Structure 1
Amino acid sequence: MDPAGLEQRLTSQDQRLDELAQLVQGLLQRISTPAAPHAVPERYDGSPGMCNSFLMQCTLYITHNPSQFRLETDKVHFVISLLTGRAKEWATALWTVNSAILQSESRFLSQFKAVFDHSPTGKEIHHCAYSDAP
């Protein structure tokens, strides 16, 4: 091969490498930093004062791990898997009769809150905090 043809091929390959490097750089800039990992929520035993914080932790975990929860039932099963004590007994009773509540996240959470959420509302907390004030 003549030296002029070889030099032309090398120049062409250099240009292609530069284009590929720019393409890779552009792709790297597009990739977003992965979200910070969220811990699996602590288990819940049915304690009334802990219901909202348990459900908040579950919601955060589910929201930040959407690929693990493609179906409504995946979300319900995840929450059930974290239950112990009275809460587990309640869910087991629903499971035993194959309750339709287990098919819908919103229905399950609504029923769950009706049974276990007896925490004070924001208004009640405010009243308790300031009722002893002079």
Structure 2
Amino acid sequence: MVDELVLLLHALLVRHRALSLENSQLMEQLRLLVCERATLLRQVRPPSCPVPFPETFNGESSRLPEFIVQTTSYMLVNENRFCNDAMKVAFLISLLTGEAEEWVVPYIEMDSPILSDYQAFLEELKQCFGWDEEEEGEGEGEEEEEYGY
């Protein structure tokens, strides 16, 4: 009877050691998974941006300079997200509403090359919604003289 108890106790100790080892391995795997999850969450949720998310643009000409400054600033701070012209143009398009959104639809429908050219897209946007940089610094008299009014 004593021999049976000793064998049973020995079997229990061996089983306990095996379970302790397995538990230790599982805890290590859990630690690695928690670290990996934290790394992935940092990638999905980047740190807060010092530049606020730009407001939408509905085609109101007086708001165009502000819209361009906001979007340019946001893209500069988040340059890793806007790695090419197509991404920049897509971002601008996502912020268009109303008349400005209606303006861009034909470019999308015909898969225009300006959808992959940020500067060309900006120039079209400026031309359509009345922002001419050349006229900004000139006085009215100079404009009349230049256009023969």
TM-score by length of 1: 0.62
Distance in 2 between the 1:58 and 1:73 partners?
Answer: 14
| CA–CA separation in structure 2 for the residues paired with 1:36 and 1:91 | 28
For residue 121 of structure 1, the aligned residue among 126, 131, 136 is 136
2:111 to 95, 98, 101: 98
- Superposition pairs for residues 1-134 of structure 1, below 5 Å? 37-118=50-131, 121-123=136-138
Change (3 A) 1:87 1:66: same
Query: TM-score, normalised on structure 2?
Result: 0.56
Structure 1 residue 118 displacement after superposition: 3.9
Alpha-carbon deviation of 1:111?
0.8
Structure 2: unaligned runs, 5 residues or longer: 1-46, 141-149
Structure 1, unaligned stretches of length 5 or more?
Answer: 1-33, 126-134
Paired position in structure 2 for 1:25: none
Secondary structure class of the residue paired with 2:80 = helix
Q: Secondary structure at the match of 1:95?
A: helix
Report the structure number with the largest CA radius of gyration.
2
Q: Which runs of 4+ in 1 moved over 6 A?
A: none
Distance in 1 (CA, whole Å) between partners of 2:129 and 2:96 is 12
RMSD: 2.4
Q: C-alpha distance in 2, partners of 1:50/1:124?
A: 21
Letter in 1 for 2:120: R
Q: CA deviation at 1:75?
A: 0.3
Pairwise CA distance, 1:39: 1.0
User: Which amino acid in 2 is paired with 1:78?
Assistant: F
Q: How many residue pairs get matched?
A: 93
* Higher RCO (Cα < 8 Å, 6 or more apart): 1
